[in-house]
Amino acid sequence: MPPDGIDGRRPGAHDIGMPTLCRSCFTETAEAASICGRCGSDLLVTHQDLNDLSTAHIDCDAFYANIEKRDNPELKDKPVLVGGGKRGVVMAACYVARLAGVHSAMPMFKALKACPEAVVIKPDMTKYVAVGRSIREMMRNVTPLVEPISIDEAFLDLKGTSRLHGASPAHTVARLAANIQTRHGITVTIGLSHNKFLAKLASGLNKPHGFTIIGRAETSDFLADLPVSHIWGVGKVLQKKLERDGITLIGHLQSHNELELTARYGQMGHRLARLCHGHDSRKVVAGGRRKSLSSETTFEEDITDAKTLKRILWRQTEKVSASLKKEGIGGRTITLKLKSASFKIRTRSQTLSHPTQTADVIYRTAELLLENEANGTAYRLLGVGLSALEQSDHCDPLDLADPNAQRRKQAEAAVDKIRARFGRNVIGKGRMIEK
């Protein structure tokens, strides 16, 4: 059973004097109930701190999959997976598919084995991005302090918005969720608390279409019975290490002081000591600056041939370069990603002396990284990405050590202009041609 508070209620939620909000008609009362007295809805959130908390985390429910269900009502009750073919991975799984044990990032062949009746849909990123941007704009109409985490989730700082909207943060964010559903036909889940860690934790406890509150006074008790994996940043490796030390619940961490945890787990121990008691001083930062940009592809069949891998690398490089140019940014660190036939991931990186957004520079750097890995190993995936991003003002300065670099840059710019006018497929590099 989930811990108390998972649906926004605390123990004793049916006592008199517990603030309650109806998420359907937005009626607020001072008494807890199971059904709204005004509209009859059971979508109620009840908590003693309902009107006093202002840090929210909003997460779209099975974002890609639910957009596809929205656009095709025949899929409503069917298990839907968004991702590549049998060789790819699951990018999103609807909640019907999740009941069969399917989850994001699962290899598609394993997902179809677990849920053979699933409908697999190729991703339409243009559509998803458009919806994500619209939802983000709706968030910013509520508060300027919106910190995106990904295309389908964000933190909101609602402190000080009560006067603007004439309602509590809980009321405002509940109305926002309803407006998102009305406009875009998808549901979101809300976590509301007194800091970012707890807000995000709360939003993951009662999906889909949930609204969970973690108050100040209940924080430690609320956390105590949760697995350590609920702490943001505790992955499988650290979880196993903690389990070997007899620590499986957050409450076990609470029984150790900061010095003990730091001595045992280093800097991560210091972090665990704070988070296990619900302490998080991070602020919601507007903008949520992008940290990286990448492109990758999963092959229909494993590839060992170096020339074939290089051709695919060039295609991925062009995609990344085009995205960088479109967003007016560049990056210093170029990372090559490979996944072997046995699903082992290899990443190799090279940091440049200056940021770049030029496909030629990205490719030449990544090609050198690839040459060391293209040794006959069978690969099922290849990708390339840039990090350490910054505005394009300082990208690709004149390189006196390479007099041909400027000429290649100018040639690439000319190709970009032609493609902008006539389409991306009208012209290509010779390295794309099979030999």
pLDDT tens digits along 86-139: 678 899 999 999 999 999 889 999 999 999 999 999 999 889 989 999 999 999
pLDDT tens per residue, range 201-213: 999 999 999 999 9
pLDDT band at residue 354, thresholds of 50, 70 and 90? confident
**Roughly how many angstroms between the first and final C-alpha of the chain, as a whole number?**
61
Q: How far apart are CA 267 and CA 110, in angstroms?
A: 36
- CATH number belonging to the domain at 63-68+78-122, selected among 3.40.50.300, 3.30.365.10, 3.40.1170.60, 3.30.1950.10: 3.40.1170.60
Q: For CA atoms 30, 154, 208, 38, give the dihedral sign.
A: positive
Q: Known catalytic residues?
A: 153
What global pTM score does this model have? 0.72
Instruction: Please tell me the CATH code under which domain 16-61+127-217 is placed.
Output: 3.30.70.270
Chain-wide mean pLDDT for the chain? 88
Q: In which region does residue 66 sit, left (phi positive, over 0), alpha (psi from -120 to 50) or beta (all else)?
A: alpha
Tokens of 54: 């202002």
User: Residue 312 half-sphere exposure, CB side, CA atoms within 13 Å?
Assistant: 25
Task: Give the domain ranges of the chain.
Answer: 16-61+127-217, 63-68+78-122, 221-275, 292-432
pLDDT band at residue 13, thresholds of 50, 70 and 90? very low
pLDDT tens per residue, range 388-403: 888 776 777 655 456 5
Instruction: Please tell me the CATH code under which domain 292-432 is placed.
Output: 3.30.1490.100
pLDDT tens per residue, range 56-93: 999 999 999 999 999 999 999 999 999 977 678 899 99
Which of 161-170, 249-258, 325-334, 426-435 comes out lowest in average pLDDT? Answer: 426-435
Nearest to 322, CA basis, from 425, 245, 234: 425
Q: How far apart are CA 204 and CA 191, in angstroms?
A: 8
Three-class SS string for the chain? CCCCCCCCCCCCCCCEEEEEEECCCCCEEEECCCCCCCCCCCCEEECCCCCCCCEEEEEECCHHHHHHHHHCHHHCCCCEEEECCCCCEEEEECHHHHCCCCCCCCEHHHHHHHCCCCEEECCCHHHHHHHHHHHHHHHHHHCCCEEEEECCEEEEECCCCHHHHCCCHHHHHHHHHHHHHHHHCCCEEEEEECCHHHHHHHHCCCCCCCEEECCCCCHHHHHHCCEHHHCCCCCHHHHHHHHHCCCCEHHHHHCCCHHHHHHHHCHHHHHHHHHCCCCCCCCCCCCCCCCEEEEEEEEEEEECCHHHHHHHHHHHHHHHHHHHHHHCEEEEEEEEEEEECCCCEEEEEEEEEEEECCHHHHHHHHHHHHHCCCCCCCEEEEEEEEEEEEEHHHCCCCCCCCCCHHHHHHHHHHHHHHHHHHCHHHCCCHHHCCC
Hey, what CATH topology would domain 221-275 get? DNA polymerase; domain 1 (1.10.150)
pLDDT tens per residue, range 303-341: 999 999 999 999 999 999 988 888 888 899 999 999 999
pLDDT band at residue 433, thresholds of 50, 70 and 90? very low
Residue 235 has pLDDT above 60, yes or no: yes
